[in-house]
Structure 1
Amino acid sequence: MYQDVLVPTDGSDGTREPLSHGLAVADRFDATVHALSVVPDGPFGADGEAAIETANRAVERVDTEAQQAGLETVTAVERGVPHEEILAYVADNDVDMIVMGTQGRTGLDRVLLGSVAERVLRLADVPVVTVRSTGDLRVEDATAAETIAREEASHEGYDDVDVRDEPHRTSASWIVPVEADGDSLHVHVDAVSGEARVAGSGGPD
């Protein structure tokens, strides 16, 4: 029934539950997962490389989760008015369903994400599933994420584990770059559950 499922993401906490729901739908119908992040123009827009980097991390997170679930993925980063770019992507890529969040956790994120979801719901020609974020964060700072990442790498059998760069958070998950026994790895730490997994390597020899 559904062959292409779009999960718009801005990397905020409010996209965690929609991502899980979108992957479940895609898995049920063996659909391709499309991850789209839009860097907004206008008064709330963000300029510079930092905004593009955040958008790339957001779609990378969806791609990682989808691959872990054995699903095909397509990722894209666009710049413009978010709801317009989402609707244009749907039309250009024959998307069958949109799964998206209705709010960020606080303040401006809540207002902007809610406004985008409302416009997409009203204007889309395909089914739109909206998912409200409900999870509170357990891992709120980079130091805690680093500690969990070290423990997870050690649990996987690595002995010499060093954090090689500042952890960054997207979609309620921390991504912690580490150097372990000569391997460059990423440890993904779920900010809600505190669970972690090592990505980018099959494990130590």
Structure 2
Amino acid sequence: MDITRILIGIDDSKYADHAAQYGFDLARKLNASVGIVSIVEPIPAAVTPINDTGFGMPFEGAADINSVELMETQNQAADSLLNRIIAKYGTDMEVTQYTDYGSSADGIINCSATFGANLIIIGTHKRSGFDRLLMGSVAEDVVRHADVPVMVVPLKEEE
């Protein structure tokens, strides 16, 4: 099997940065195309309703204003992250960028299919025990549900 299209899943962590570096280096060695994806997970906005002082009823759409601003901020952060990773590791390559919304694992898998990847590379936060129970494991979900091989790149931290 030839590896010709590598999708790298990133977030704003040192683990994802390390995996991105590994992924770009591997792509160069294999002469493979690279796609990178950043997932924007929905963050519920705490909204204080704006009331119509005449009737004491909330204005419709007040929550939507905050949601739009939050989504724009998240999109800008995702774009900035993608551009920063490309500038750091992929300036000599053509890189396809994806931003997806929702679950990180599902987004990575969906973008993998869209990109036509035959390898997914992601980092791991190395959560275990109670942390993993509460937070889940994106890497584990991707490994379990992807239709293509997944390389999980660990980052050995200094003790």
Shorter-chain TM-score above 0.5: yes
- 3-state secondary structure, aligned to 2:151: strand
Q: What is aligned with 2:74? A: 51
Alpha-carbon distance between aligned partners in 2 of 1:81 and 1:102, rounded to the nearest angstrom = 16
**Corresponding position: 1:88 with 2:114:** no
Counterpart position of 1:121: 143
What TM-score does the superposition give when structure 2 sets the normalisation length? 0.70
Measured on the aligned residues, the alpha-carbon RMSD in Å equals: 2.7
| Structure ID, larger Rg | 2
AA at the equivalent of 1:37? S
Alignment partners' CA distance in 2, 1:76 and 1:8: 9
CA distance in 1, matches of 2:11, 2:145: 20
Q: Cα deviations across residues 110-157 of structure 1 (Å, max 9, x unaligned)?
A: x75x61111000111111110122356xxxxxxxxxxxxxxxxxxxxx
1:7, 1:34 within 8 Å by CA — same for their partners in 2?
yes
Shift of 1:16: 1.7
* 1:57-136 mapped onto 2 (5 Å cutoff): 57-68=80-91, 70-103=92-125, 112=135, 115-135=137-157
- Give the alignment's TM-score, normalised by structure 1: 0.56
Output the CA distance in 1 between the equivalents of 2:146 and 2:41: 19
Aligned to 1:28: 29
What is the CA deviation profile of residues 144-180 of structure 1, one whole-angstrom value per residue up to 9, with x for unaligned ones? xxxxxxxxxxxxxxxxxxxxxxxxxxxxxxxxxxxxx
Gaps of 5+ in 2: 45-66
Is contact 1:66-1:72 (8 Å) kept? no
* Structure with greater proportional helix content: 2
Q: Which amino acid aligns with 1:122?
A: R
Q: Deviations over 1:10-45 (max 9, x none)?
A: 1222212101110111011111111100101366xx
Cα contact 1:40–1:81 (8 A) shared by 2: yes
Matches within 5 A, 1:156-171: none
Higher relative contact order (CA 8 A, sep 6+): 2
Matches of 1:48 and 1:75, distance apart in 2: 18
- Alpha-carbon distance between aligned partners in 2 of 1:4 and 1:66, rounded to the nearest angstrom: 16
CA distance in 2, matches of 1:10, 1:80: 13
Once the 2 structures are TM-superposed, how far is the Cα of residue 104 of structure 1 from its aligned partner? Answer: 7.2
Aligned identity (percent) is 26
Q: 2: CA distance between counterparts of 1:48 and 1:71?
A: 29
Instruction: Name the SS for the 2:137 alignment partner.
Output: helix
The answer to whether 1:15 aligns with 2:16 is yes
Q: Distance in 1 between matches of 2:89 and 2:96?
A: 10
The structure with the largest strand share of the pair is 1
Q: Deviations over 1:86-106 (max 9, x none)?
A: 11111122101111011179x
Moved more, 55-64 or 24-33: 55-64
